Amino acid sequence: RALARMGTELRCQCIATHSKFIPPKSIQDVKLTQSGPHCKNVEVIATLKDGREVCLEPTAPWVQLIIKAILAK
């Protein structure tokens, strides 16, 4: 799952990002966290409908499409 810990952390939460496409319908929610003093990276964490949490690559085109798809519904 490549998540260091949950919740509001004082450091980066993603150790690695999931590289394979995840169908939007299996996603429950997506949380975008800005970079800041706690972490130099933008972090995108998807919670899947089965409860798993996965880190996604913010710059991946499919990640941006999924976010667009959620907003467009």
Contact footprint for a second copy (CB under 8 A): 24, 27-36, 42, 44, 58-59, 63-64, 67, 70-71, 73
As a whole number of angstroms, the distance between CA 36 and CA 20 comes to 27
Minimal distance in Å, beta carbon 29 to a second copy?
4
Q: Is 31 exposed, middle or buried (0-12, 13-18, 19+ CB in 10 A)?
A: exposed
Q: Would you say 55 or 63 has its CB closer to a second copy? A: 63
Q: Would you say 2 or 53 has its CB closer to a second copy? A: 53
